[in-house]
Amino acid sequence: MPEGDTVWLVARRLDEALSGRVLTRAELRVPRHATADLVGREVLATVPRGKHLLTRLSGDVTLHTHLRMDGMWHLYRPDERWRGGPDHVVRAVLATADRVAVGYRLGEVDLVATGEETRVVGHLGPDLLDPEVDLDEAVRRLRAEPQREIGVALLDQRAVAGIGTIYRSETLFLHRLSPFTPVGEVDDLPAVLATARRLLGANKAHASQATTGDPRRGHEHWVVGRRGRPCRRCGTPIRTATQGAPPYDRLTTWCPSCQARPSDPASDAR
């Protein structure tokens, strides 16, 4: 699933391409909204909310979409061939006089009243890429379940929105925290969230995601994508394991030396 910075960048590109323009074509290729008529409405803005996209239209209408694991939005010129996949995976088409936005494999496509956007995003915790994010509220939500492992808790969008597996693992490495540490044992939780926010913010304006400060291929991350390779800090082989129960079971990556806890499980066979 995309990280919050990826969704932020998609929102910015859609906003720049469509906002202030009138829809000349609009198709929502999902049964629930297949007959919706959005042609003639002006696109007011596209904004991110955690990992959700909200495209606001005139007339108090918002198109809510979520990329899930493999969804994406592509932008084309009116005479340009679509290249994002076969026609049957297209879930949404929004076109103006000079741009066409095509949504492929979108995990969620909904229409809601703009004044009722909380119906689709009201469950989310504070968004780390919101300029006015309430980090104290995010800390409060995380600490509400003190026995929960921090590596699982950080992925719960109801507690804090925007963190995915990359920034979870990289942030915990930078703080020398095992992903299996109970939230109640994490004294510097505000600092952990501040680091995650900084990493997301540093990468939101471009497609690459570098947490080391070095964007070269193979140098971008401290631990992610480096299973079995030596830790950049201490040389110990990096481990991976599946952590959490559905729907929060994801691959976590860590250094068993820099982020050691006596009760940590061993890596799986991945």
Q: Please, are residues 97 and 39 in contact by the beta-carbon 8 Å criterion?
A: no
Last residue of a domain, one of 121, 156, 186: 121
- 18 confidence band (pLDDT: 50, 70, 90): very high
**Among 2, 48, 126, 179, the one annotated catalytic:** 2
Tell me, yes or no, if 80 is annotated catalytic: no
pLDDT confidence of residue 112: 97
Tell me, yes or no, if 250 is annotated catalytic: yes
Mean pLDDT, all residues of the chain: 94
pLDDT confidence of residue 245: 85
The yes-or-no verdict on residue 162 having pLDDT over 50 is: yes
Residue 224 sits in the same domain as residue 144: yes
**Among 12, 198, 250, 261, the one annotated catalytic:** 250
**Percent of residues, the chain, with pLDDT higher than 70:** 97
**Among 49, 51, 56, 239, the one annotated catalytic:** 51
The verdict on residue 232 lying in a domain is yes
Residue 112 sits in the same domain as residue 140: no
Tell me, yes or no, if 204 is annotated catalytic: no
Residue 156 sits in the same domain as residue 243: yes
The verdict on residue 130 lying in a domain is no
Average pLDDT over every residue of 263-269: 56
Average pLDDT over every residue of 157-163: 96
Separation of alpha carbons 175 and 195, rounded Å: 9
Range of the domain at 211: 135-254
Q: Please, are residues 220 and 209 in contact by the beta-carbon 8 Å criterion?
A: yes
Q: Which burial class, exposed, middle or buried, applies to 32 when counting CB atoms under 10 A from its CB (0-12, 13-18, 19+)?
A: exposed
What total number of domains does the chain contain?
A: 2
The verdict on residue 218 lying in a domain is yes
Tell me, yes or no, if 77 is annotated catalytic: no
Residue 115 sits in the same domain as residue 207: no
The verdict on residue 264 lying in a domain is no
Residue 95 sits in the same domain as residue 143: no
The yes-or-no verdict on residue 247 having pLDDT over 90 is: no
| pTM for this prediction | 0.91
Average pLDDT over every residue of 164-178: 97
Q: At what angle do helices 189-203 and 4-18 cross, to 10 degrees?
A: 40
Q: Which CATH number characterizes residue 197's domain?
A: 1.10.8.50
Kindly report, residue by residue over 48-81, the tens digit of the pLDDT.
999 999 999 999 999 999 999 899 999 999 999 9
The yes-or-no verdict on residue 268 having pLDDT over 70 is: no
